[in-house]
Structure 1
Amino acid sequence: MAAIASDNHGLRLIMRYVVLTLIAIIFIFPLVFMVMSSLKPDLQLLRDTSSIRAFLPVGDVSFDNYTAAFNRAPVATFIFNSVLVTGVTVLLSLLFCSLAAFSFVFMNWKGRDVLLSIVLATLIVPFETIAIPLLLLVSKLPWIGFEGFEIGWLNTYRVQVIPWIADGLTIFLFVQFFKDLPSDLIEASRVEGASWWQIYRRVVMPLAGPVIATAAILKFLVMYNQYLWPLIVVQQETYRPVMVGLGYYFQLNPAWGEIMAYLTVITVPVLAFYLVLQRAFIASIASTGVKG
């Protein structure tokens, strides 16, 4: 009986790995197609899409599309802008949204539940409904920087960062995670005389690795794929992100090989960020022994 049970367990394990491998292959197919297509001329690229050759490095393969893509548009500038805007926004969002969630969960103050409901209600408001009012607002806001006092935030990094620092989804994720933490931790810390800031920094946030990684990945994808808002508020090439830069390759006749090369290059930061966060996510789970 033990041998039969062991065989069944081994068979189930093999089937599980087979299914997971097939799912991984399905998800990786678009990436393989994108990379292989970026190495081929347009005519061959379009001809190969009807066969398995689309996923193979066959035919006239070269890096000419990458050279042409970098010559057509300032790709490095677009990637730098997107990485800078996305990285700063993610860091500030994690800080301010986690602080807001901490106050909603652990601190008692008048109107807390009402304000939390309002924050969560913003999740159902489409951005398109507030885009024009927000544009009118940021075009008139003052700013004091290294260059002195100025009016208007258009054609700057701050107009791409500040409106996106706080959002209802990130606050909701932190609120749900904080609610599952044992209340004894907070009560014991308060009894020992710890301030709210010390509890946040030394007790709560060290345990919040999984939600930090989750919120960071979701925020990164939203910010890195921004198109409509940068298209509205940024007219100077110096501040444009990668999604707006994609339009350079659709002028006149689309250059599909260059488009695939451009997409391949701008995907690298996304994959790098995901791999880093994945390791942090696994490490945080392994080091956290607290259960709600």
Structure 2
Amino acid sequence: MALVSEQNRGLRLLSRYLVLALVALVFLFPLVFMVVSSFKPDSQLLADTSSFRAFLPVGDISLDNYVAAFKRAPIGQFMLNSIGVTVITVIVSIAICSVAAFSFVFLNWTGRNILLSVILATLIIPFETIAVPLLLIVSRLPWVGMEGIEWGWLNTYRVQIIPWIVDALTIFLFVQYFKDLPRELIEAARVEGASWMSIYRRVVMPLSGPVLATAAILKSLKMYNEQYLWPLIVVQDEAHRPIMVGLGYFFQLDVAWGELMAYLTLISVPVLAFYLLMQRAFIASIASTGVKG
């Protein structure tokens, strides 16, 4: 009986893995098609779409599409712009949002619950509804630079960074995590005469590794994947454009499908690499920052 039970358990486990493998293949098909197509000329790419050859690296395989893609658009500059804007925004956003969450949780001031509710309510507002008013604001804002006062933020890096620094989701993650920290640590630090800023730097943040990882991963993926609509509106020069805006270079006159697939592959590489490197940290941080009912 024990042997039969062990065999049944093994069959159930095998069938479960087979189902999961099939589901994974369904999600991998678009990625496989994109990567394989990036090595084929347009004529072969379009001909192979009618058969399973579209997912196989067969036929006239070369790196010509990648070479042509780099000639058509300044991919290196776009990639540096996207990564730089993403990194700076994530670092500054986490610093400011964590301080805001600290004040909501540990400081007692009038109206904090109302203000927190208003901030969280902004999560339901789509960006498209505020794009035009935000454009009118940033096109007239002053900026004090090395050459004096400048009027308008268009065609700059700051217009792609500053509007996205304060994030309601990031504040919410820190608020939920800070609420679960032992209050005894805060009270002991206050008894010792520590200031609120010292408590934030020396007590709270050293214990906030999981939520820091969660916030950094979610913010990074959001910033990198959504660098299209807003930069398309506020940035016209190539020197400041992110990589998502570069898609338009491959739809001019006639569509270069092979070059487009190569460009999409290059766009996806940083995201996939980032996800694979941070996968374990992401799962562990999500588990440790779960919202309690």
What is the TM-score with the length of structure 1 in the denominator?
Answer: 0.89
Hey, what does 1:30 align to over in structure 2? 30
Q: Deviations over 1:80-129 (max 9, x none)?
A: 11111111111111111111112111221111001101101111222122
Hey, what does 2:114 align to over in structure 1? 114
Q: Deviations over 1:17-59 (max 9, x none)?
A: 3343333323222211111010011121122122221111001
Give the CA RMSD over aligned residues: 2.6
The answer to whether the aligner puts 1:252 opposite 2:262 as a matched pair is no
User: 1:143-222 counterparts in 2 under 5 A?
Assistant: 143-222=143-222
CA contact (8 A) 1:65 1:258 kept: yes
User: 1:40-59 counterparts in 2 under 5 A?
Assistant: 40-59=40-59
Give the match's secondary structure for 1:83: helix
Task: Give the direction of change, closer, same or farther, for the CA distance of 1:16–1:186 in structure 2 (3 Å limit).
Answer: farther
Task: Give the direction of change, closer, same or farther, for the CA distance of 1:69–1:18 in structure 2 (3 Å limit).
Answer: same
Hey, what does 1:17 align to over in structure 2? 17
Hey, what does 1:140 align to over in structure 2? 140
Shift of 1:61: 0.7
Structure 1 unaligned regions, length at least 5:
none
Structure 2 unaligned regions, length at least 5:
none
Give the match's secondary structure for 1:166: coil
Hey, what does 2:265 align to over in structure 1? 264
CA contact (8 A) 1:83 1:224 kept: yes
Hey, what does 1:277 align to over in structure 2? 278
Aligned length: 291
Aligned letter for 2:167? D
Bigger mean CA deviation after superposition, 107-116 or 274-283 = 274-283
Give the match's secondary structure for 1:153: coil
Distance 1:102 1:9 in 2: 49
CA contact (8 A) 1:209 1:285 kept: no
Task: Give the direction of change, closer, same or farther, for the CA distance of 1:281–1:234 in structure 2 (3 Å limit).
Answer: same
The answer to whether the aligner puts 1:239 opposite 2:234 as a matched pair is no
Task: Give the direction of change, closer, same or farther, for the CA distance of 1:208–1:27 in structure 2 (3 Å limit).
Answer: farther
Task: Give the direction of change, closer, same or farther, for the CA distance of 1:233–1:277 in structure 2 (3 Å limit).
Answer: same
Shift of 1:180: 2.7
Shift of 1:188: 3.5
CA contact (8 A) 2:94 2:212 kept: yes
Give the match's secondary structure for 1:149: strand
Q: In percent, how many aligned pairs have the same letter? A: 72
